[in-house]
Amino acid sequence: MNRTIHLKSRPHGEPTLADFETRDEPVPEPGPSQLLYRTTHLSLDPYLRGRMNEGKSYIEPFALGAPIVSGFVGQVVRSNLPAYAPGDLVTGMGPWSHHGLSDGRGLAKLPRDTPPSAALGVLGMPGLTAYVGLIDIGRVKPGETVVVSAASGAVGGVVVQLAKLRDCRVIGVAGRADKCDYVTKELGADACIDYHASDVAAELRRLCPKGIDVYFDNVGGAVLDAVLKNLRDHARIALCGMISEYNAETSPPGPNLRPLLANKALIQGFIVGEHLQRRQAFLEELVPLVRSGKVKHKEDVTKGLDNAPRGLIGLLRGENFGKALVEL
């Protein structure tokens, strides 16, 4: 049988296990131009919370009763597509289930000699987001001061390392002492602020006396507000995510944006899906760095399909430490 996890109800505030439903159905048969894969890993990502809501966004909401869909890594079991053979490791978008079908659209084989799960993190959508946000949106230059929030996470961890590789001074912001230790000692940031334990604006003033050139924002809210008070002239802000608000039922009062004007700062939102033409350049830089171990990546693994909803709920609480994945 093929177990699949479906959206049962739309959450109010934080999702609960009752918002998900498990169904067992026969393993599907691949059609004449399809392949069947066995899922080995599922990606847990903050944007999945937005897809559980009704209403217009940059991506369609999940239909009630439909399977939850996210990035996956899987192994081909049977293939009627000439480009794929049983045993091939593939990645794409698919249902939260033990098996799935694909017609090959949006499917890719994994880069050689890299850990399979990296295709969902450092070498996948989160890594590309870090690359596009820092280089194309943030227009980072060597020697600049870069601040990144959720710095131990899937996106933030890559931002820290790419900025260090470009000789920047890098300050991370993260939500626990052990996350901050990882950001400085393992990823190489010059400092990391635990935002639960410190006055972030005062710490940024101390650590960045000349001000911040690039802010890679993964969280919005109070941390964004603290950064705005410490901008350098002509700062750039890559507005990547607002996870501090994803479970909120109404928008909290926003930060005061006046310092953007005074500092002639540029702030730009971006969605990685509109920058897929950068994937090749991103992989050319990152694959050798990941293979050689020069770029590190940390995973937070939830075991078993049945625990996937628990893993997503934990991610939205900040409990994950590293790229959140489900291993099947």
Ligand X SMILES: NC(=O)c1ccc[n+]([C@@H]2O[C@H](COP(=O)([O-])OP(=O)(O)OC[C@H]3O[C@@H](n4cnc5c(N)ncnc54)[C@H](OP(=O)(O)O)[C@@H]3O)[C@@H](O)[C@H]2O)c1
Q: Which residues bind ligand X (CB under 6 A)?
A: 45-47, 126, 129, 150, 152-156, 174-176, 179, 218-219, 240-244, 270-272, 315-318, 320, 323-324
Question: Tokens 């995973």 sit at which residue?
Answer: 299
Using DSSP bridges, classify how beta strands 69-79 and 145-149 pair: parallel, antiparallel or unpaired: unpaired
Judged by CB, which is closer to ligand X: 119, or 242? Answer: 242
DSSP-derived secondary structure letter, 80: -
> Shortest Cβ distance from residue 158 to ligand X (Å)?
8
Judged by CB, which is closer to ligand X: 109, or 317? Answer: 317
Judged by CB, which is closer to ligand X: 11, or 156? Answer: 156
Q: Token pair for residue 126? A: 């989160």
Element (H, E) at 242: none
3-state secondary structure of 93: strand
- Residues 181, 173: Cα–Cα separation, whole Å: 11
Measure the CA angle with vertex 30, ends 25 and 35; round to 5°.
Answer: 115
Judged by CB, which is closer to ligand X: 138, or 241? Answer: 241
Cβ proximity of 40 and 74 under 8 Å: yes
> Shortest Cβ distance from residue 29 to ligand X (Å)?
34
Judged by CB, which is closer to ligand X: 107, or 180? Answer: 180
> Shortest Cβ distance from residue 62 to ligand X (Å)?
16
Question: Tokens 């439903």 sit at which residue?
Answer: 21
3-state secondary structure of 150: coil
Q: How many CB atoms lie within 10 A of CB 148?
A: 35
> Shortest Cβ distance from residue 176 to ligand X (Å)?
6
> Shortest Cβ distance from residue 137 to ligand X (Å)?
9
Question: Tokens 């901050």 sit at which residue?
Answer: 180
> Shortest Cβ distance from residue 207 to ligand X (Å)?
17
DSSP-derived secondary structure letter, 186: I
> Using CA of residue 270, residue 275, residue 276, residue 279, what is the dihedral sign?
negative
Judged by CB, which is closer to ligand X: 168, or 174? Answer: 174
